[in-house]
A = this chain, B = another copy of it.
Amino acid sequence: MIEKKMEQLGYPLPNARKPLYEYVPVVIHNNLAFVSGQLPRVSGQLKYCGKVGEEITIETAQEAARICIVNALTVLNYELGSLDKVKRIVKMTGFVNARHGFKDQSTVIDGASNLLVDIFGEKGQHARSAIGAGDLPGQSPVEIELIVATE
């Protein structure tokens, strides 16, 4: 069971929080769930803030990426009732907010990719883009969105 697996990995699911804006966290159409861009918020506050390669190390940015994934799965779990209904992580887009000239966007986003595979196994293997953003909301170091196939 996915929720237990996440606890074992040290990433227990927090409670879903009310979204801050007019948009919604997840829209499902024809068994394809579109999960809104997630920031590394914990208890509603950005846990990490700043540019990778300046205030934020690559290792911290990888941890921030993992928190984005936990937040994505939190809202998905709330919507689906259970993460066991996840059929496949289809696509991840990861945006990295880094110093000018930064080259290691892929390494940062690997934090998120690896966690998805740790949690879901083969179902967690996804298509992916890792992109350098200009900046990100609240100067978050990373923002991640998912497209997920559901039962």
Contact = CB atoms under 8 A, between A and B. Distances in A.
The number of times this chain is found in the oligomer is 3
Interface in A67-114: 88-93, 95-98, 100-106, 110, 113-114
Tier of interface size on chain A? 35 or more
29 contacts: A21-B110, A21-B113, A22-B114, A22-B117, A24-B125, A27-B127, A29-B32, A29-B88, A29-B149, A30-B30, A34-B127, A34-B147, A36-B128, A36-B129, A37-B130, A96-B134, A101-B135, A103-B135, A103-B137, A104-B137, A105-B136, A105-B137, A106-B137, A106-B138, A131-B136, A131-B143, A132-B135, A132-B136, A134-B135
Interface of A: 20-27, 29-32, 34-37, 88-93, 95-98, 100-106, 110, 113-114, 116-117, 125-139, 143, 145, 147, 149
